[in-house]
Structure 1
Amino acid sequence: MMKASFKARYEPEKAAAAATVSVKAGDFKLRASLTDATVVNGPSLNGLAIAVEKPGFFIVDYNVPKKDVRFQFMNSVRVAEKPLNLTYIHSKGDGRTILDGALVIDSGNKVSANHVLGTGNTKLKYTYVHGWLTTFEPSYDLGKNAWDFAVTRKFYGDDVLRATYQTSAKNLGLEWSRSSKQNGSFKIIASVNLAEERKIPKLCAETTWEFEM
């Protein structure tokens, strides 16, 4: 089975587009993604990436113009009868390695951590789902010594409203999204920096269409 998706992003200053095509081959998935850089000023390989994935086990991404390979390995173990999901990501180009772990306590509680090896960049996050409709996500960045907060609320099945606040940058964001297999998905994002003297909101819209062939 082949699946394809097309995403368009609109901002006051610019517009961008991206497309992804994936093919399932047994236990593996082959994927190619393109950005609008591949067709600007004529067809090119700029913005082209290909990937091989075995869901739940590994992903190998190859960025064609940068000649960069990224490896991602996933595994799950049990700690005190609770599932601990582990992810190892290594980018060959910049030599960066990321370790990510998420401990699922129960259906409404999860603790996760993200660390970049060789740096002080470590983030801790707690996720709490209340009544299956509202999700609270406080997170703490040890490198910046700062808290971030996010609250997500589902409405009418397909609508999701998400509010975020980054204390270090004083960025306040609001996002409304709707997902539908029949009519596609869209997202409207508004953000404002409370530290700026002129607090002018920045607006952005995204739309995504998915197809099966």
Structure 2
Amino acid sequence: MTKASLKGKYEPDKVGAVGTLAVNAGDVKLRAYMTNATFVSGPSLNGLSLSVEKPGSFIVDYNVPKQDIRFQFMNTVRVLDKPLNLTYTHERSENQTALNGMLVLDSANKFSANYAFDSGNCKLKYTYVHGGSSTFEPSYDLAKNSWDFAVSHRLYGDDILRATYQTSSRVLGLEWSMNSLFHGNFKVNASLNLAEELKVPKLSAESTWNFDM
């Protein structure tokens, strides 16, 4: 089975597009990721990334123009009979290594932590799902000593309204995600920096189409 997706994004000052082509090859998936730079001024290798993925086990990404490679390994262990999902990520060129863990207490409560070995920074997040339709996600950044907050609510069908607030930058965000009629989705984003004297919201729209080939 071959699947393709095309994502278009519009902002007042620019228009962008990315495409993904995925092929199932037994237990692994082969994926090609392309951006605007791949096609501008004719086909090229700019903006092209290739990956090999075994779901739940590993992902290897190769950035063609930068000749850079990124490894990601996933595993699940049990702690007090609760699943702990672990993800180890290493980027060769940036020499960045991170470990992410998510402890699933039940269907409504999850704790997660992300630790960056290069900087020593740690981020903590708690996720609570209320009634199956509303999600609350407070998170704490130890390096910045600041809290971030996110609240999302499922509206009609699978449409989701999500609000975020970053206390360190004082940026307030709002996102509305809607299902489209063409096997994809449509998103509208708005953000407002409350720290700026002239508070002008930034708007963007994004649409994704998925195809089976």
Band the TM-score falls in, shorter-chain normalisation: over 0.9
Q: Which residue of 1 aligns with 2:139?
A: 139
Tell me by how many angstroms 1:9 deviates.
Answer: 0.4
Write the mapping of 1:124-135 to structure 2, written as runs, cut at 5 A: 124-135=124-135
CA distance in 2, matches of 1:19, 1:188: 19
C-alpha distance after superposition, 1:135-157 (max 9, x if no partner): 00000000000000000000111
**Equivalence for 1:34:** 34
Once the two structures are TM-superposed, the CA of residue 43 in structure 1 deviates from its matched residue by: 1.5
Amino acid at match of 1:205: A
Structure 2: which 5+ residue stretches go unaligned? none
Aligned AA for 1:119? S
Tell me which residue corresponds to 2:57.
57
> What runs of 5+ residues in structure 1 fail to find an aligned partner?
none
Q: Secondary structure at the match of 1:106?
A: coil
User: Which range moves more in the overlay, 200-209 or 116-125?
Assistant: 116-125
In the other structure, the counterpart of 2:187 is 187
Q: CA deviation at 1:180?
A: 4.4
Q: Is the 8 A contact 1:30 1:52 kept in 2?
A: yes
**CA–CA distance in structure 2, aligned partners of residues 174 and 137 of structure 1:** 14
Question: What displacement does 1:178 show?
Answer: 1.1
Matches within 5 A, 1:73-152: 73-152=73-152
TM-score (norm 2): 0.98
CA RMSD, aligned part only? 0.9
Cα deviation for residue 118 of structure 1 reads 2.8
Matched residues in 1 for 2:75 and 2:89: separation? Answer: 12
Query: CA offset at residue 40 of structure 1?
Result: 1.1
Match of 1:206 in 2: 206
Once residues 188 and 113 of structure 1 are traced to their aligned partners in structure 2, the CA distance between those partners, rounded to angstroms, is 29
**Counterpart Cα distance in 2 of 1:37 and 1:58:** 27
1:182, CA displacement in angstroms? 3.8
Secondary structure of the corresponding residue to residue 37 of structure 2: helix
| CA offsets 1:97-127 (integer angstroms, 9 cap, x no match) | 0100000000000000001103132100000
* Corresponding residue pairs, total: 213
Tell me how far 1:44 sits from its aligned partner. 1.0
Partner SS for 2:105: strand
State the identity as a percent: 65
Q: 1:77 to 1:181 in 2, by over 3 A?
A: farther
Q: Tell me the residue number matched to 1:44.
A: 44
